[in-house]
Chain A
Amino acid sequence: MAQEEGQATLSEIPCQEIAQWVSAYLDEHVGDERKRQIAVHLAICVGCETYVKQIATVRDVVGLLPKTVEESPDSHRLRRAFVARARPSPSGG
């Protein structure tokens, strides 16, 4: 019984469509109705549940990738420009 219901709901929105909404869903950028539909689908669809978990892993891991710290190649020039701009020397003299 539950399975029949489940299958009926599952067919309501195809996985292919669910997959498109995953990032918006994860960031709670979907409307309430869509959120409900996706949640119902995920509860009974292992493929989509796995997909959501993988996208969430990617989202989290990308933010934790080691970042190269870039040095400004010409920081002296920038600093001089900043000083010149911020404290204009009395001109006209």
Chain B
Amino acid sequence: MNSDAVTVTESLSHRMVVGRKPEPSQSAAVLKEDVALLIRLRQGDERAFDELVARHHSALIRMAMGYVADREVAEEVVQDTWMAVIEGFARFEGRSSLRTWIFGIMIHKAKDRGVREKRHTTFSAFESIDDDGDETVDPSRFHQSGEWAGHWAFPPQPWDEQTPETLLASQQAVNVMNLAIKALPPTLQDVLILRDVEGVDSKEVCEILKITGTNLYVRLHRARERVRQTVEIYLEGRQCAV
């Protein structure tokens, strides 16, 4: 099976398989691309700058929204990020990828802004996800005691016909999932957006967010579990309605 570039068509053409999510071809290729783009940027090539903005702007806005919870402020944060990129790319040394650098700037600015504005959140909200704390899956779904303690009491019911494509075909399911992602706290939203939405490889996600691989997977799994729960509730509701 071709596990290289994950295009939408490819992903749709085979049923979900349990296995490694193909990491996008990274390091060498990406860095080469970065170098080519940087050269053009430093030559003052406006199209190179447009390309850079087009490549990352949407993802930056999506992530910034998680921190500031206000569309306008998110746009300002990202605008400021681009200004900082313009100021800084001449000094950028390529110790990380361009993306890691740009997203790092945005997160810094977004956190700063989120704290200053004291919108819906405080600084502690960014750090409140204790990576060793809460259970990922609702503990009441497992036997609490006895011989089967820790084993499923209410196991998930198979989503027989549900594949990524059938879920995507339902506007309601799409809305439900988008809302679930939006409702995630910033620390969970970040990892989900970077890893699963943008397809950034796990090593780079760790670099961008300055977290360990263990942290990453604790957070990523919590985020996926919350989305899973939402889909589960949605599918159960639909069954009841039939």
- Chain A residues with CB under 8 Å of chain B are 10-11, 14-17, 19-24, 26-29, 45-48, 50-75, 77-79, 81-83, 85-87
What is the CB-to-nearest-CB distance from B142 to chain A, in angstroms, rounded to a whole number? 5
In the complex, are the beta carbons of A65 and B151 less than 8 A apart?
A: no
In the complex, are the beta carbons of B61 and A70 less than 8 A apart?
A: yes
Known: A17-B150, A29-B213, A81-B83. A57 touches B163 (CB 8 A): yes
Interchain CA distance A16-B50 in the complex, whole Å: 48
Task: Give 8 pairs: A residue, B residue, CB < 8 Å, sorted on A.
Answer: A20-B135, A20-B137, A50-B158, A54-B156, A67-B58, A72-B57, A79-B46, A82-B49
In the complex, are the beta carbons of B164 and A64 less than 8 A apart?
A: yes
B58: A residues at CB distance < 8 A: 67-70
A-B contact sample (19 more), CB < 8 A, given A27-B20, A59-B21, A85-B87: A14-B142, A19-B137, A22-B221, A26-B20, A27-B202, A29-B202, A48-B155, A51-B156, A54-B231, A55-B224, A58-B224, A59-B224, A60-B11, A63-B197, A64-B8, A65-B181, A65-B197, A78-B86, A82-B49
In the complex, are the beta carbons of B86 and A85 less than 8 A apart?
A: yes
In the complex, are the beta carbons of A86 and B159 less than 8 A apart?
A: no
**At the interface, yes or no: B128 with Cβ under 8 Å from chain A?**
no
**At the interface, yes or no: B2 with Cβ under 8 Å from chain A?**
no
Interchain CA distance A87-B90 in the complex, whole Å: 12
A82: B residues at CB distance < 8 A: 44, 46, 49, 86
What is the CB-to-nearest-CB distance from A88 to chain B, in angstroms, rounded to a whole number? 10
Query: What is the number of residues of chain B that contact chain A, defined by CB distance less than 8 Å?
Result: 70
Closest A residue by C-beta to B218: A20
Count of inter-chain pairs, beta carbons less than 8 A:
173
B218: A residues at CB distance < 8 A: 20
**At the interface, yes or no: B79 with Cβ under 8 Å from chain A?**
yes
B210: A residues at CB distance < 8 A: none
In the complex, are the beta carbons of B53 and A72 less than 8 A apart?
A: yes
Known: A19-B137, A47-B156. A70 touches B57 (CB 8 A): yes
In the complex, are the beta carbons of B135 and A78 less than 8 A apart?
A: no
A24: B residues at CB distance < 8 A: 217, 221
Q: Which one of B50, B87, B152, B159 has the highest number of Cβ atoms from chain A below 10 Å of its Cβ?
A: B152
**B residues 65-113 in Cβ contact with A at 8 Å:** 75, 78-79, 82-83, 86-87, 90
B3: A residues at CB distance < 8 A: none
In the complex, are the beta carbons of A61 and B150 less than 8 A apart?
A: no
What is the CB-to-nearest-CB distance from A32 to chain B, in angstroms, rounded to a whole number? 15
**B residues 151-173 in Cβ contact with A at 8 Å:** 151-152, 155-159, 162-164, 167-168
Interchain CA distance A17-B16 in the complex, whole Å: 23
Interchain CA distance A11-B152 in the complex, whole Å: 11
Closest B residue by C-beta to A24: B217
Interface string of B1-43 (1 = CB under 8 A from A): 0000010100110001111110000000000000000000111
Known: A62-B192, A72-B79, A87-B44. A51 touches B155 (CB 8 A): yes
What is the CB-to-nearest-CB distance from B81 to chain A, in angstroms, rounded to a whole number? 10
